[in-house]
Amino acid sequence: MNATVTLEQAQEQLPKLLRRAQREGFFAVASHGKTLGFFISLDRMEALLETMEIMGNPKAMKAIRDYQAGKMKFRDIDQLDED
Amino acid residing at 66:
D
**Average pLDDT for the chain:** 86
Q: Which residues pair with 73 in a beta bridge?
A: none
pLDDT tens string 42-58: 999 999 999 999 999 99
DSSP 62: H
**2 pLDDT band (50/70/90 cuts)?**
low
Q: pTM of this prediction?
A: 0.62
H/E element holding 5? Answer: strand 4-6
Looking at the predicted structure, is the pLDDT value of residue 80 above 80?
no
Across 3-17, average pLDDT: 85
- Contact between 5 and 28 under an 8 Å Cβ cutoff? The reply is yes
Q: CA-based diameter of the chain, in Å?
A: 61
pLDDT tens string 64-75: 999 899 898 777
